[in-house]
A and B are shown apart, each in its own frame.
Chain A
Amino acid sequence: MQEQLYNAIVEMKEDEALALAREELEGGRDPLELVDLFRKAVEEVGDRYEKGEYFLPELMMTGQIMDQLAEMTKDKLKDEYEDSGKTRGKVLIGTVKDDIHDIGKNIVRFMLDANGFEVKDLGVDIAPEKFIEEAKQFEPQVVGLSALLTLAFDPMKDTVEAFEKAGLRNKIKIMVGGAPVDDKVCEYTGADAWGKDAVEAVSLAKKWVGGA
Chain B
Amino acid sequence: MLTENWTSLTPDEKLEIRFDKWMNPEGVKFPPEAEKAFKERTRIIKDAVQLKKPSRIPVCPMMGFYPIFYGGVTAEDAMYDYEKLGQALKKYHQDFQPDCLASSFLYGPGKIFELLDYKLYKWPGHGTNINTPYQCWEDEYMKADEYDLMINDPSNYWMKVYLPRIFGALEPWKNMAPFTDLVELPFVGASLIPVGIPDVQEAFKKYLEAGQLAMEWIQAIGAIDGETLSTVGTPLILGGFSKAPFDTLGDTMRGTQPLMLDLFRRPEKVKEAMETLIPLHIEMGVRTATANNCPFVFMPLHKGADGFMSNKQYAEFYWPQLKAVILGLIDEGLVPLVFAEGGYNQRLEFLADPDIPEGKTLWFFDTTDMEKVKETLHGKSCFAGNVPVSLFKAGTPEQIDDYVKNLIEKVGQDGGFILSNGAVLDDAHAENLKAMFEAGKKYSP
Contact = CB atoms under 8 A, between A and B. Distances in A.
Given A57-B309, A60-B261, A151-B132, A182 B390 contact: yes
B260 A149 contact: no
B135 A101 contact: yes
A103 interface: yes
B309 A56 contact: yes
Interface stretch (B43-51, B160-168, B354-362, B419-427): B419-427
B32 interface: no
Contacts of B388: 180, 182, 184
B300 interface: no
A56 B135 contact: no
B313 interface: yes
A93 interface: no
Interface in A169-212: 179-182, 184-185, 187-188, 197
A150 B427 contact: yes
Nearest to B346: A52
Given A14-B265, A149-B426, A153-B427, A99 B135 contact: yes
B137 A100 contact: yes
B308 interface: yes
B426 A150 contact: yes
Contacts of B261: 57, 60-61, 64
A54 interface: yes
Contact of A55 (B135, B308, B342, B390): B308
B104 to A, nearest CB: 20
Contact of B390 (A99, A100, A151, A180): A180
Interface in A125-160: 149-151, 153-154
Interface in B416-445: 422-423, 425-428
A98 interface: yes
A12 interface: yes
* Interface size range on A against B: 20 to 34
A53 B394 contact: no
B53 interface: no
A131 B423 CA distance: 27
Contacts of A151: 65, 131-133, 426-427
Query: Which residue, of B133, B261, B422, has the highest number of chain A Cβ atoms within 10 A?
Result: B261
Contacts of A184: 388, 390-391, 394-395, 399
A185 B367 CA distance: 14
B263 A153 contact: no
A71 to B, nearest CB: 16
B212 interface: no
Given A100-B128, A150-B426, A57 B260 contact: yes
A61 B266 CA distance: 13
A98 B124 CA distance: 10
Contacts of A181: 390
B406 interface: no
A188 B342 CA distance: 21
B394 A153 contact: yes
Contact of A187 (B65, B264, B394): B394
Nearest to B310: A55
Contacts of A60: 257, 260-261
A106 B408 CA distance: 37
B427 A154 contact: yes
A7 to B, nearest CB: 15
Contact of A149 (B132, B341, B392): B132
A56 B65 CA distance: 29
* Interface size range on B against A: 35 or more
A149 B133 contact: yes
Given A61-B261, A184-B395, A56 B427 contact: no
B299 interface: no
A64 B310 CA distance: 19
A149 B390 CA distance: 10
Interface in A94-125: 98-101, 103, 107
B390 A103 contact: no
A197 B390 contact: no
Contacts of B119: none
A48 B129 CA distance: 40
B307 interface: yes
B389 interface: yes
A94 to B, nearest CB: 16
B290 interface: no
A103 B263 CA distance: 17
A61 B260 contact: yes
A57 B395 CA distance: 35
B21 interface: no
A179 B128 contact: no
A56 B64 CA distance: 27
Contact of B393 (A54, A98, A188): A188
Interface string B260-285: 11011100000000000000000000
Contacts of B341: 179
A142 B171 CA distance: 45
B256 interface: yes
B323 interface: no
Closest 5 CB pairs of A and B: A188-B394, A57-B260, A184-B390, A98-B132, A150-B427
Given A57-B261, A61-B261, A153-B390, 20 more contacts: A56-B309, A60-B260, A61-B260, A61-B264, A98-B128, A99-B132, A100-B122, A100-B135, A149-B427, A150-B64, A150-B392, A150-B426, A150-B428, A151-B426, A179-B423, A180-B422, A180-B423, A185-B390, A185-B394, A188-B393
25 contacts: A12-B264, A14-B264, A55-B309, A55-B310, A56-B256, A56-B260, A56-B307, A56-B308, A57-B260, A57-B261, A60-B257, A60-B261, A99-B135, A103-B256, A149-B135, A149-B426, A150-B389, A150-B423, A150-B428, A151-B131, A153-B390, A153-B393, A181-B390, A184-B395, A185-B394
Interface of B: 64-65, 122, 128-129, 131-133, 135, 137, 256-257, 260-261, 263-265, 307-310, 313, 341-342, 366-367, 388-395, 399, 422-423, 425-428
